[in-house]
Structure 1
Amino acid sequence: MEPHPHQSPEEERGRRLSFAWLRHYPAETPASIDYPDEGLPYLLTQSASAYPEHEAVHFMGRSISYRELLGLAVRMANGLRSLGVSKGDRVAIMLPNCPQAVVSYFGALMAGAVVVQTNPLYMERELEYQLSDSGASVMITLDLLYGRLASVRSAQPDSGPLPQLKHVIVTSLKDGLPFPKSLLYPLKQRREGFKADIPYGRHGVLAYAKWLRRQQGDAAPDIAIKPAEDLAVLQYTGGTTGTPKGVMLTHRNLVANTLQTSSWFYKAEKGREKYLAALPLFHVFGLTVLMNMSVYTGGSLIMLPRFEADAVIRTIERQRPTIFPGAPTMYIALLHHQAASSADMSSVKACISGSASLPLEVQEQFEKLTGGRLIEGYGLTEASPVTHCNPVWGKRKNGTIGIPFPDTAAKIVSLETGEELPAGEIGELVIQGPQVMKGYWMRPAETEKVLQAGWLRTGDLAKADEDGYFTIVDRMKDVIIAGGFNIYPREVEEVLYEHPAVREASVIGVKDDYRGETVKAFIVLKEGWQVSRIQLDKWCRERLAAYKVPHLYEFRETLPKSMVGKVLRRVLIEEQLEKSENHN
């Protein structure tokens, strides 16, 4: 957190220690951390030195040691430099979870580049926007995804819509697979009808495996990194509040958040933990709590290319991961899988749930199933991302996001005056700490709106109790105003989740001629269960004020979700608006 003007370091530390939440810190978690003045590659070089033969990455049966991973990253760094990548140039990575994603990430950082994390699900319009906005000169992607990129990049790159994109390095999942799967994979692709039409050797298109083998792997480029100033990652927001913006995260931001997270998981043993990577690593949650955290602690990163409940359960039984970060929908899917009750998932010691509110029922059932701890945290892209979390092995308060991380200040401020509010009152959550972004890429006006006097405005409505435990009430933009009353969708969703028939629920406001807005609930039922609108209405009326009770219900097989399993309310709102327009 930024020191107050005219305060000595001793006075500033005293201010930190006066925060209510610090008395709930376990003895093993410090209030303040001494962060190394190093860039992100330091995480890898330190672990490769300490644990050279330990498994760094496990993917579909292939194991890569820290010595091998460092060697591959160094080759990638030198290769990128040979392509003309200089310090500060942007390198886009559009890959699912696979070893190449880890190699490319650390290799690009070692080359001094800024990594642009790109969602493999992006369609042409989204791709063109992000690559154009970031000015990426190199992209590393998958053969299965190349067609989308080719359609926004003309045959002659210099005359197309992305003239700055000089090189495209194309890999295949087979490049990360062990023998003999690597030989069988192309046969599987052909059987499924995939035909690669990739112009290797032309228009700056390179074959990842062949190109990497040609690079020198003795020493990484000598790049002077200023951790507090130099960008490491451009992480684009999901666009839930308009056009996606590139969040500028420095090396210090991400190193700090990695060490903050590590201090929270103080029982994790260096060189011994196994991290289950079902979250996508291109998402900032997976980036920090999986890739950076695993490498920093000398852990093994067990990678799955996508979340599938079947594959996750099999992987837990075979590989015995100990730490499993995820989203509530992941834990819900596992709990409702037919194999869950008979599977041995006892290796899982700790899980941090993020991206959405964690229903209490899910937390209790998952802890019973694994014997481990499942705690809820909070973060946002602009904070690298984690700022709050319930103590894993200490006092937790269900329904809250917990308490701020070390060196992180947080408060609730009035929407009208900006003044700090007392415990229990609802206002905007604002945050200060070493993990808070530098700003938005090429958007000074947007940056000024959210970074004010050293505080990050989150746009989330929240409250704090006397102990310093924070509770998210809702997104400011999601609040429903019906008949002059403020209704928070999360509160209604929590009540719906408590119904034994409800598997998933999402609540939005829809236009109402009389009330201005009214409440609509989208419901996914548990398999084999049935419930009527009348029954849900009765359930809600017994637990909510009448004005908060949904007036409309829509039952669905699934709800739209992001790659990390967060239910996309904005998609439901857009669908509802489209229905209204068509009806009119």
Structure 2
Amino acid sequence: MSGYAEKPWLALYGEDQPASITPEHDTLLAVFEATLAATPDAVAIRYFDGTLSYADLDAASDALALGLLEGGFAHGDRMGLYVQNDPAFVIGLLGAWKAGGSAVAINPMNKAAELTYLLTDSGATALLCLDELYSSVAAGVLPETSVTTVVTCSGLDRQTRGDARLFEGTTKTTPEGTQDLDGLVERFAGQQPPPVQLSGDDIGVLTYTSGTTGRPKGAMNTHSTMVFNACTYREWMSLGPDDVVLGVAPLFHITGLIGHVAIAMLVGCPLVVAHRFHPDVVLEAIREHRPTFTVGAIAVFIALGNAEGATRDDFTSLRAVYSGGAPIAPAVTDQLEEKLGVYVHNIYGLTETNSPSHGVPFGVKAPVDENSGALSVGVPVYDTVVRVLGEDGEEVPVGEVGEFATSGPQVVPGYWERPEATAESIPGGELRTGDVGFMDAQGWFFLVDRKKDMINAAGYKVWPREVEDVLYGHPAVREAAVVGIPDEVRGETVKAYVSPRPGATIDPDEVIAWAKERMAAYKYPRFVEVVDELPKTTTGKILRRELRARN
């Protein structure tokens, strides 16, 4: 097993494909500065009808850094970023780094209790947030935190279009006790903060992950781990300055942070963002800005394919499309290729691996395992070793199911002020992912499911993912999620939640009979419930725990 894990390309390309990369820079700030020096006038961000060059980003982040320092922000401090997919997110990252600190990525959907926890746990002393989020959420909780400097911005900043589907009723304000980001840019025009010394070991961003149990933990995404996987994207997808990155993943999420922001900075190409994901709005952005690369949850591409008026011609500019964050059924990739005219490659990783630890090589179609029907998540990326471990912590033979354990330059060193959790989940620097799967004899990895989601039906192991992949093949099913529910006889039994395709009607009994013909007796769902929409995270992952709680 180790030979394939260490050199996964041997089974695919022979010795010609490199298995190692060396980043040119230690920090993402250095990455940005190199791109700025080379192409200051190049477009960095396209936001509706607004355009920011690298020089614009530099000036705005200089002003933010000066505003932070003026407010007492010190080397090593943290600033929360509580915004949508706006230029302000990128300005906030750079401003925090230029002031010698780091950023705390916060989901803009978080409410008071969640925001309080993240700001308190991280010890953030500054906050950059949307004015509307300050008024509706942040203002009420900041007295309970260590935040002393608040800078606000608006989704209307740096664009004039103000799409009604996203901004209806929105007006820009500067709440009392806050400073306006554009006001700082005007006040500090032409000024620069003092030079700052950052190293690859410094934390660039704290990204919070709940893991499998307990309160959210702050993964310490260091500059070196982030730079490494920015380089992974560049080499894996052959990205360069002529590309255009479409930002469909939330920027606060690791996919958006690395697969959108970091890679665009690294290669010096435009990043297209549109405040938040709305399929019709993003479809218009695709038509207008003609992106060439994107990575996002499979739900995003399903939504784009179903957007009103969408045709294959809309997606012809996209030469490289990857999907991560949630498993993909083989039937879905086939349907999307027919609908969009582009093959969606699989990619796999976690917050703790700074996005990819595995990927399907660009231009190669992922194989489907004959036994489980699972679509491969790819092979380990550069300099990455993935072991498959049994319950005893020992490696299992090729083809046998176990937990993925990942080592590589992209793995975070630990969790913020959580030494016990770090020791448990990242012993010796090897991440125990909590994801279960196997590797075949050719080095392809297949994700079966999360360990905690396994269903024990009368002593038989049922992996929800395997059942879902079959259900996705039903002509009326748009999305599917499978959970275990209590059963007096079997202990647990299988229940499926399905949503219909546009214009389709689903008969639960017919779906049960259809599934029964296609899988073992202990696997097929005994219950099927039809819902209009399945509950999801902001990154498109279906929330099985919410479905389990309904039973």
TM category, shorter: over 0.9
| Aligned partner of 1:214 among 169, 172, 187 | 187
| Aligned partner of 2:251 among 281, 292, 299 | 281
Aligned: 1:165 with 2:135: no
Alignment of 1:114-263 (within 5 A): 114-146=102-134, 147-153=136-142, 160-162=143-145, 164-178=146-160, 181=161, 192=169, 198-199=175-176, 202=177, 205-215=178-188, 217-227=190-200, 229-238=201-210, 241-263=213-235
- Seen in structure 2, the aligned counterparts of structure 1 residues 256 and 29 have a Cα distance that, compared at 3 Å, is farther
Distance 1:574 1:346 in 2: 42
Q: Which amino acid aligns with 1:223?
A: V
Distance 1:148 1:423 in 2: 51
Which residue matches 2:22? Answer: 34
Q: SS of the residue aligned with 1:112?
A: coil
| Aligned partner of 1:377 among 322, 347, 360 | 347
Mean alpha-carbon deviation: is it higher for 76-85 or for 39-48?
76-85
Alignment of 1:437-448 (within 5 A): 437-448=412-423
Mean alpha-carbon deviation: is it higher for 567-576 or for 287-296?
567-576
- Seen in structure 2, the aligned counterparts of structure 1 residues 221 and 358 have a Cα distance that, compared at 3 Å, is farther
- Seen in structure 2, the aligned counterparts of structure 1 residues 474 and 132 have a Cα distance that, compared at 3 Å, is same
Q: Is the 8 A contact 1:235 1:246 kept in 2?
A: yes
Aligned: 1:362 with 2:337: no
Mean alpha-carbon deviation: is it higher for 423-432 or for 388-397?
388-397
Q: Is the 8 A contact 1:374 1:392 kept in 2?
A: no
- Seen in structure 2, the aligned counterparts of structure 1 residues 292 and 495 have a Cα distance that, compared at 3 Å, is same
Mean alpha-carbon deviation: is it higher for 400-409 or for 209-218?
209-218
1:23-53, Cα deviation, whole Å (9 max, x unpaired)? 4259885211112352111221111122222
Aligned: 1:80 with 2:50: no
Distance 2:413 2:4 in 1: 22
Distance 2:532 2:197 in 1: 53
- Seen in structure 2, the aligned counterparts of structure 1 residues 26 and 406 have a Cα distance that, compared at 3 Å, is farther
Q: CA RMSD in A?
A: 2.2
Identity %: 36
Measured after TM superposition, the shift of residue 139 of structure 1 is 0.3
Measured after TM superposition, the shift of residue 347 of structure 1 is 0.5
Q: Is the 8 A contact 1:25 1:391 kept in 2?
A: no
Q: Which amino acid aligns with 1:527?
A: P
Aligned: 1:535 with 2:505: no
Distance 2:4 2:519 in 1: 38
- Seen in structure 2, the aligned counterparts of structure 1 residues 46 and 430 have a Cα distance that, compared at 3 Å, is same
Measured after TM superposition, the shift of residue 515 of structure 1 is 1.1
1:210-244, Cα deviation, whole Å (9 max, x unpaired)? 123222545453222221x2111110014663311
- Seen in structure 2, the aligned counterparts of structure 1 residues 253 and 171 have a Cα distance that, compared at 3 Å, is same
- Seen in structure 2, the aligned counterparts of structure 1 residues 246 and 486 have a Cα distance that, compared at 3 Å, is same
Q: SS of the residue aligned with 2:121?
A: helix
Distance 2:515 2:213 in 1: 30
Distance 1:514 1:172 in 2: 56
Tell me the number of residue pairs that the alignment of Structure 1 and Structure 2 aligns: 542
- Seen in structure 2, the aligned counterparts of structure 1 residues 236 and 193 have a Cα distance that, compared at 3 Å, is closer
Q: Which amino acid aligns with 1:442?
A: E
Distance 2:235 2:362 in 1: 11
Distance 1:36 1:22 in 2: 26
1:258-300, Cα deviation, whole Å (9 max, x unpaired)? 111211012x2x2211111121111111100001011111111
Structure 1: stretches of 5+ with no match in the other structure: 1-13, 154-159, 577-584
Q: SS of the residue aligned with 2:156?
A: helix
Which residue matches 1:516? Answer: 491
Structure 2: stretches of 5+ with no match in the other structure: 369-374
Q: Is the 8 A contact 1:279 1:286 kept in 2?
A: yes
Which residue matches 2:545? Answer: 570
- Seen in structure 2, the aligned counterparts of structure 1 residues 67 and 198 have a Cα distance that, compared at 3 Å, is closer
- Seen in structure 2, the aligned counterparts of structure 1 residues 45 and 68 have a Cα distance that, compared at 3 Å, is same
| Aligned partner of 2:449 among 449, 452, 474 | 474
Which residue matches 2:387? Answer: 411
Distance 1:360 1:545 in 2: 19
| Aligned partner of 1:298 among 265, 268, 271 | 268
Measured after TM superposition, the shift of residue 364 of structure 1 is 2.4
- Seen in structure 2, the aligned counterparts of structure 1 residues 385 and 323 have a Cα distance that, compared at 3 Å, is same
Which residue matches 1:400? Answer: 376
Aligned: 1:61 with 2:54: no
Q: SS of the residue aligned with 2:213?
A: coil
- Seen in structure 2, the aligned counterparts of structure 1 residues 141 and 421 have a Cα distance that, compared at 3 Å, is same
